[in-house]
Amino acid sequence: MRNPRHVLITGATSGIGAALARSYAVPGRHLTLNGRNSERLALVAALCRASGAVVRELVLDVADRDAATTKLLEVDGEDPVDLLIANAGISGGTHGGSESADQVRAIFATNVDGVLNTVLPLLPRMEARRRGQIALMASLAGHRGFPGAPAYCGSKAAIKVWGEGLRGQMAAVGVEVTVVMPGYIETPMTDANDFPMPLMMSADRAAALIRDRLARNPARIAFPWPTAVTAWLLGALSPRLTDPLLRRLPKKA
C-alpha cells in the first residue's frame, strides 16, 4: 500500500519495530505504536512526534488475547488502520542446553498467538472496508528448523505459511498481505548471539527496505538475498543432507 494514513506497529519499543516507527513517521501520518515497556515506548513515540507524526501509544502485551482484541478494535473504531505491521516477537535458543518447556511456550505465545491476537481482530474490519494491508514479521529462520533455536524457527515458520495462505484468501476482498523474512539485523535480539552473523544489517536500513517494498505489495520480503537463498536451500534439501551440518552450528542464546 502506498502512503498509508494510519499505521499500527506492534513491538515498536526497539529493534526493527522502533526503526519502522521512525521510518513511517512523517508529517500528518497517524501511528499507533505498541509495546510492553511504557518508558521505551514513550521514547520512540517522542521521536516520531518530532518528525511530525500523530502518535498513539498502546501499552499492551499482544499475548493477552482479550486485552489485544479490546484495544485494537477500539483503536480501529476511532481511526481505521490502513497498514498493520505485526512485528512483536521474542527469541531464545539452546545455548544453555535443551529448551525448557517454559521457553518454548513463551516463544510461541508471543510469536504466533501474539500475531494472531493482533491480526484477527482487525481482519474482518479491513475485509468489510475492502482495503488495508497486513505485514507479518517472520524470519529467514522460518525456512528450516535449526537445532540452535527450534521454537523460534517453528514460530516463524508458522507465521510464514499462515501469511502465504492468508494472502491468497484476502486478495479477492482487496486486503494485501505480505510476509517479511529478515536475516540478521542489529537489534537487542541478536546482541545476545556470540557467533558470527554474516551480512548483518542495521535496523534502520532494514526498516527502510521493508517500508519501500511494502508499497509494492509483494508476497514476500526476504533479505539480504544471499542469506535468503541459503536459508531457502537449506529448507529445500533433504534433512539427511543438512542435519550433519546444522548440528555443528553455534547455538542461539
Q: Which three cell numbers stand for residue 128?
A: 468489510
CA distance 185 to 88: 15
Element (H, E) at 50: helix 38-50
CA distance 168 to 16: 26
Q: Let me know if 184 is a catalytic residue.
A: no
251, part of any domain: no
210, part of any domain: yes
Catalytic residue among 24, 108, 146, 152: 152
CA distance 41 to 152: 24
pLDDT band, very low/low/confident/very high, at 184 (cuts 50, 70, 90): confident
pLDDT band, very low/low/confident/very high, at 247 (cuts 50, 70, 90): confident
Q: Which three cell numbers stand for residue 6?
A: 494510519
Domain with 149, as residue range(s), is 6-246
Which residue is listed with cell 476482498? Answer: 173
Paired residues of 32 in beta bridges? 8, 56
CATH, residue 124 = 3.40.50.720
224, part of any domain: yes
36, part of any domain: yes
242, part of any domain: yes
pLDDT band, very low/low/confident/very high, at 38 (cuts 50, 70, 90): very high
Is beta strand 6-9 parallel, antiparallel or unpaired with respect to 83-86? Answer: parallel
Nearest to 118 by CA among 77, 61, 78: 61
pLDDT in tens, 54-98: 999 999 999 999 999 999 999 999 999 999 999 999 988 766 678
153, part of any domain: yes
Q: Are 186 and 202 in contact (CB under 8 A)?
A: yes
pLDDT in tens, 6-15: 999 999 999 9
252, part of any domain: no
253, part of any domain: no
Domain total in the chain: 1
pLDDT at 230 over 80: yes
Cis peptide before 244 (omega within 30 of 0): no
